[in-house]
Structure formats: C-alpha cells, structure tokens
Amino acid sequence: MTPQNSHPSGRAGHSASSGNTEVTAAENFKGAAFMVLSQATFVFNDALMKLASADLSLFQTIFLRGLFTTFFLGLIAWRTAALFRPLSVSDRKILVLRVIGEVGATLCYLTALFNMPIANSTAILQALPLAVTLSAALFLGEAVGWRRYSAIATGFIGVMIIVRPGAEGFNAYSFWALAAVVFIVLRDLVTKKISKDVPSIYVALLTSISLTLTAAILLPTTGWQPVQVVSLGYLTGAGCFLMIGYLSVIAAMRIGETSFVSPFRYTILLWAILLGVVVFGELPDFWTIVGSIILVITGGYTFYRENKLKKRAEAQKSVQKTSKGQKTSKGQKAENSKQVNSSEGNDDQGIWPEKAKDLEKAEELINR
C-alpha cells in the first residue's frame, strides 16, 4: 500500500497529507480510525468482487463496477469544480504512465484474487512499501541506508515464504499478485511527479474512466454473461465500499500524521483473514501467517526509519535557518554601527545637507 496509498483493485492513489504542523493525539487516533475503516472497506470490496466472479468474467466485473464508481467520482469532481482541468504536457505524460500502472495492477491483482485465497493475495501486496522504497532508491536516487536495505531484503524473504514456489500448496497465481506489486510501484513513483495543481479527485476519476474503458475493450474476449440480481448487488456494494475506502484514506492522511497513521494500513491483513474464513472458508496456513508477520514488521520498521530521517532533516533545516538568521542579525548591527560612525565623521554633511549638495553640483560643473 502506498503512503500516498492505495490498492490495485481500482483504488486510486492520492497525495493528500495533513496541512497541520502540530497534530494532537486525538487527531492522530481519529486519523488511525479512518485508516482502519478504509482498509476494512477495501477488503469488503475485494470480497464482493470475488463473489461476483463466480458468475461473471474479470472484465465484466471491472466494467460494471467501473460504471458505478465513475458516475459518483464524476459527480464529486463536478461538485468540487475539478471535472475539467487544463493539464501541462508533463502532467499528461505522467498521468498516462500512472493509468498504465493502475490498469496493469488492477488486472493482475484481480486475476490473482479470483484464483487464490483472499488472505494470501492481500499478504503478498504488503510488500508494496518495501518495493516502493527500493525502487525510489534505484530510479529516483533517494538515499536509503543499510538498515532499510536490510528490512527490504528481510521483507522479500517474507514474500517468498508466502508464495513458496515449488513447495506443496504453491499457487501459480501468486505471480499475478507479484506482478500487481510491480505495476503499483510504477503508479506510485510517477504519482509523486504530478504537480500539486492537479486535484486528487481528478486523478481518481481519470483512473476510473481508464479502467472502465479498458474492461469494455477487453470484454469481447470473454463474452457477456447474464447479470443476476445477486451479482449486480455484489458489484454495487463493491463500488460503494470502494468509494468509502477512498474517502476514508484521504481523511486519514489529512487528519493524522503520516508516520502515525500509515502503519494502521496493515490492519487490512486482519480483515482479509477474517473475511477469508467467514465468507470463503479459507483458513491461512502457518507459513502464510509467518510471512505476513515478517512483512508487517519490516514494513513498519521502514515507515519508522523514513519518519525518523524526515524529522532529522527538518531539525537540521530549522537549525540552519536559525543560524542564518542570527548571522543576518549580526550583520545588520555591524552595518548600523558603521553608519553611525560614518555620520559622526561627517558632521558638516549631517548639519548642512543643502551645502553639501551645492558642493556636489559645483564639482559636476567643474568636471564638465
């Protein structure tokens, strides 16, 4: 899941963050509550999509849900005057790459979700923070120390424990979930490059439209299945949960501190295990739980280190700013003192300003 965060099954990322320099404990807990709510609704969305897949094809489920989601996102964008936005050439290129990442992630993740236990596909997705950190270091030149590299390596060991290629119970669709992680990394890295003038709701709407159109284009490859009332109810519910999840995660990041709120995204694993057992009768095995714990610990440590380094950088910047201000203040005092001394040494000019001007004019005439 991305800090700007988000899930591949049609959940658009965002770049919202708290505008407060000081956040109270109550605000942090409120933000955490919204984060927990968002993760719960995302899993309910996944569960309903998985239930609908019993009667409908992958592209049909994405298309029908996309119609519902696009309509309501468009309504919100219209109400907030974000429906039509002039875009720079660079923003257009970045949004195209972001759409490619989102569409690829959605198709890969839902392919995995429809063919493997919901807890397993969700657990593999928790490698995302580690993958984003590693990719930012490799492709964006961001500084990453040995501690976070160690956490990334350990986290990927956790992924391999969950996937267990070649072992008994191995599911080849795990690789679809891993492919989804790659596409989400692409999406999240380019999202950082979108200018602040582009509203989050506009990006979400563009993503939803692109997903719906892609599903519509690919629909003929699988054919159209009759839509039962129950399946339509599943998809409508999935669209509702998706909207609630999107709005909740924005509220979480705007109300609370990112460092406090972000780790609560791992509660999605608890919801996935719970719904997997209750709805689908899927009980995760021992190694899936072990791998999930490793991912949660390493991902949480990565959040901790990034927040610590951010605070250290802010503290150094504040100290430099204070030091610069003190030097400026001393310089001003010295300049003022110099001006006073100069004034004392030129009493005639201070007392007879008109006379001094007359002398200057006379000098000019002589020089001519």
Q: Is residue 180 part of a domain?
A: yes
Of 17-21, 56-60, 224-228, which gets the smallest average pLDDT? 17-21
Same domain, 196 and 233: yes
DSSP three-state, residue 140:
coil
Q: Is pLDDT of 11 > 60?
A: no
Q: Is pLDDT of 218 > 90?
A: yes
Same domain, 287 and 222: yes
Q: Is residue 16 part of a domain?
A: no
CA distance 42 to 243: 9
The pair of three-digit structure tokens given for residue 204, joined into one six-digit string: 């979400």
What are the E-state strand segments in the chain? none
Same domain, 298 and 324: no
Name the range with the highest mean pLDDT among 2-6, 79-83, 238-242.
238-242
Q: Is pLDDT of 2 > 50?
A: no
Cβ atoms of 189 and 135 within 8 Å: the answer is: yes
Cβ atoms of 305 and 148 within 8 Å: the answer is: yes
Q: Is residue 15 part of a domain?
A: no
Q: DSSP secondary structure string, 76-103?
A: HHHHTT-SS----HHHHHHHHHHHHHHH
Q: Give the residue numbers spanning the domain of 145.
A: 25-318
Cβ atoms of 46 and 122 within 8 Å: the answer is: yes
CA distance 258 to 191: 17
Mean pLDDT of 30-42: 91
pLDDT at 367: 35
Separation in Å, CA 52 to CA 62, 172, 196: 10, 22, 37
Cβ atoms of 195 and 338 within 8 Å: the answer is: no
Interval 275-324: pLDDT, tens: 999 999 988 888 889 999 998 898 888 878 877 877 787 788 878 777 77
pLDDT at 335: 60
Interval 191-217: pLDDT, tens: 878 888 888 888 889 999 999 999 999
pLDDT at 345: 47
Q: Is pLDDT of 184 > 80?
A: yes
Q: In what helix (H) or strand (E) does residue 187 lie, and over which residues does it extend?
A: helix 174-191
Q: Is residue 218 part of a domain?
A: yes
Domain boundary among 318, 333, 348: 318
pTM across the whole model: 0.75
Question: What sign results for the dihedral spanned by CA atoms 343, 344, 349, 350?
Answer: positive
Nearest to 263 by CA among 312, 297, 310, 314: 297
pLDDT band of residue 219 (cuts 50, 70, 90) is: very high
DSSP three-state, residue 63:
helix
**Total number of domains constituting the chain:** 2
pLDDT band of residue 139 (cuts 50, 70, 90) is: confident
Q: Is residue 19 part of a domain?
A: no
Cα torsion for 56, 57, 63, 66, to the nearest 10°?
Answer: 70
Cβ atoms of 41 and 248 within 8 Å: the answer is: yes
DSSP three-state, residue 18:
coil
Separation in Å, CA 218 to CA 228, 335, 367, 368: 21, 74, 88, 88
Same domain, 247 and 323: no
R_g (Cα) of the chain, nearest Å: 29
Same domain, 135 and 206: yes
Domain boundary among 299, 318, 337: 318
Work out the mean pLDDT of the chain and round it to a whole number: 81
Q: Is residue 327 part of a domain?
A: yes
pLDDT at 251: 82
Q: Is pLDDT of 357 > 70?
A: no
Mean pLDDT of 144-149: 85
